[in-house]
Structure 1
């Protein structure tokens, strides 16, 4: 009888909790969340909106500027749909200057002209893979009757003034694949993989095995050591745009079998270098050294203009690119989209101008106070980015009626059984997305945590527990 009474009591308590208004349930859960010792020196902000009515169901610290990490990608994505259109594509043109003589010798240059495509050479799409494109380009060159080249292979990266990294990015990030700089001619997502050979014992030096592409033009300075079993990948690369050396530091677990990806100091140059290497393997000699228009201009040399088109490559559509941008949180795509948007709107392709344009677009469109957004890049990698959960949730709510929303929604990953974009940088975790409550209410939410104590895994689980109240 006592057990039966306790069961009835627990059932009554559960039913009472479920009968509480959603706002009250969220408030109770958030109070438990924010008073946890992990936030003794940090801050959490949450905004939940009824997507159907626009009513704010719950908000706490919603006007506090927070570092958003990759949740900022949701804003960049939505802006790109507005400014570029879901069917926007990037065009990359291969052409030659000069003339082809009777022997098949090109007395001129081969030029790869970029327009900012972040997927050029990427293996995320069959038609964009580097091996596919190189084979296509070589076939086009051979079809034109070219058997040798007296000039050079030139990567035309003029549109965005060469390769740059956004202001605010850290030295520790820029050398790694997720911190790759952006160019008008990106190549293989401006990254390359390295395979390490661990030493016999922990603390022994590692050796570099194979790389996923020829890096003969860059000096790799390997300072990594062998880590203990189970310690995994703690390798960091240190370099910046146009570096001639890449320093590899940290530890590589003794039992690890993983390719470590680094950023390329100059993706455009790598594209020219790889095409020249592929040509020479086919017996088509190139007399000049590979280069880029940016490097030619730095040297005071003339750059090619005009010529005969050999091949035009069109990227996947914007919607297809944004799918991978959000699913895999590829920072390069955000920076490329930001530069493309500002180039199309103002003709000033710099990250600073793009960030200001993005900020002004949303403050005007939704009448947001301008101090609720302080944007530094298009990806959220800069720790100086700031946005309120109020602004972030309002933006995500406002786009639900757009004709491209289904494509946008598909790009949002699923975590904890919820459709939401995550964000992670040092001391920052965030989630922003969409959920339907148990009573059928469509919700939009934004949850950001800054300066928490402890490791990311337990904090992430506590955030999931909080967000479960929305289900």
Structure 2
């Protein structure tokens, strides 16, 4: 009888924990939230076979989880303490009366966060430009006879991803990139308080004032919804903005953020205003250069350094900020000695993936932020990225750019579902949400403190149903309790 029992165990081995987890996750996918939708997911200890893998090789729209790749490539390329530079030049010296018989040049260096309060240590545009004005005075300049030029030549080509849809394009989260950026390349449009439901909401102004912008609003007040559902319709370079949608009724000073039509031009227009407020007169105009001049023949007046890259990446991932991700991709191209185009930036992302042995067949990229519905990634590509970064010397920085489940950034992709168990810090996530897409990827530290990488992607969802988030929370809870098998 003993021999029979031994044979039973030989031919019918016990199910492993991974097999049980695979079965459990598969069973949970039979939910109304995924009716008519696609779901893919994978999770596992770094460098080991997956704990579960369901359609993990399937290419799907990743939404903002794509930023995990962009931020990883930028961090490993530049390092956490890298700072971008914006330089201020003059092509002549001032005379004894403080007159500059020449021009000023602002050389854009691809700083994503110039004049922005989003990152730690950031300063608003007025503060930055006022400092520049003081540097001119220190250089003896009181009057500029010529023009102020914006050198935007470091980046080339399309300023917005070619697959970004019309509804998004004029809004701050799809702001055009530029080598000379300012204030996240966006501005705010303000409305009068409108207490009557269904009435047109009247625009009261904008801040800062953008020369040439004309706004036509068809947005209406909504007394039944406290959310902002207003969209700005405009293409890059277009100064006629049209607003549609709804905004909360009765709120004084309500505003929405719109994309600047020509960010580099606005940067020097604003600089000219600040100079004049600080007593420096300018006879010429604010203009954008079509090609970089010879800076070897000019006087460097000042170099503005950005906040460290690690603080920019915090905004990219924890606040899911598209604009910084797109700027970083172009900077990757420039760093590689290529033209600063979107296409070259995406090639650098693919090069980084290849260096980590992540199959490029799993990846189709049209932008670096995940805003386009046409981007495609597999869950396998995301877990591969997370596993690679777990081995990176910059892992701690990368890990800390991800949101915890109680973080009010990153689109509130999770509730505070771990607060009672005091296990908030054991989960770090990057969420992604666009039309019909909800994705989640990141790390879990299990009961033994071992790191698990995971990625979940749901496509073709009913946009009104957010219960898929609860599915993702429940799978994370399973991962928290997963233990590594002795023979793994």
Q: TM-score, normalised by structure 1?
A: 0.89
* Match of residue 403, structure 2, among 390, 413, 423: 413
Correspondences of 1:314-393 after superposition (within 5 Å):
314-366=305-357, 368-393=358-383
Change over 3 Å in CA distance of 1:127–1:70 after alignment to 2: closer
**Maintained 8 Å contact 1:198/1:252:** no
Q: Secondary structure of 1:380's partner?
A: coil
* Alpha-carbon distance in 2 for matches of 1:97, 1:202: 57
Q: What's 2:276 paired with?
A: 280
Using structure 2 for the length normalisation, give the TM-score: 0.86
- Tell me how far apart the structure 1 counterparts of residues 215 and 283 of structure 2 sit (CA, whole Å): 27
Which residue is equivalent to 1:259?
Answer: 255
Q: Conserved in 1, the CA contact under 8 Å of 2:130 and 2:275?
A: no
Q: Structure 1 162/388 Cα, relative in aligned 2: closer, same or farther at 3 Å?
A: closer
The answer to whether structure 1 residue 422 and structure 2 residue 422 are counterparts is no
Contact 2:86–2:108, Cα closer than 8 Å, also in 1: yes
- Alignment deviations for residues 273-306 of structure 1 (CA, whole Å, 9 cap, x no partner): 1111111222322122211114xx6xxxx96744
Q: Which residue of 1 aligns with 2:75?
A: 81
Query: What does residue 265 of structure 2 align with?
Result: 269
1:20-419 equivalent positions in 2, closer than 5 A:
22-51=17-46, 53-124=47-118, 125-161=120-156, 164-257=159-252, 258-294=254-290, 305=295, 306-366=297-357, 368-415=358-405, 416=414, 417=424, 418-419=427-428
Q: Secondary structure at the match of 1:384?
A: coil
Look up the SS of the partner of 1:45 in the other structure: strand
| C-alpha contact 1:49 1:58 (8 A) present in aligned 2 | yes
Residue 77 of structure 1 contacts residue 322 of structure 1 at CA under 8 Å; is this kept in 2? yes
CA distance in 1, matches of 2:235, 2:17: 49
Residue of structure 1 in register with 2:440 after alignment: 431
SS in 1 for 2:154: helix
Distance 1:390 1:205, change over 3 A: same
1:39-84 CA distance string (max 9 Å, x none):
2211111101112x42211100111001111111111111112222
In the alignment, structure 1 segments of 5+ residues that lack a partner are 1-18
2:113 and 2:465 mapped to 1: Cα distance?
A: 30
Aligned length: 445
RMSD across aligned positions (CA): 2.1
- Structure 2 contact 126–274 (Cα < 8 Å) conserved: no
442-451 or 350-359: bigger deviation: 350-359
1:453 equivalent to 2:462? Answer yes
Q: Secondary structure at the match of 1:158?
A: coil
**Whole-Å Cα distance in 1 between the matches of residues 463 and 268 of structure 2?**
45
Is the 2:34–2:461 Cα contact (8 Å) retained in structure 1? yes
- In structure 2, C-alpha distance between the alignment counterparts of 1:26 and 1:384, rounded to whole Å: 31
Structure 2: where are the runs of 5+ without partners? 1-13, 406-413, 415-423, 481-488
Instruction: Assess, with a 3 A threshold, how the Cα gap between structure 1 residues 320 and 200 changes in structure 2: closer, same or farther.
Output: closer
The answer to whether the 8 A contact 2:444-2:476 is kept is no
Offset, 1:364: 4.2
Supply the distance in 2 between the matched residues of 1:21 and 1:211 (Cα, whole angstroms). 61
When structure 1 is superposed on structure 2, of 454-463 and 192-201 the one drifting more is 454-463
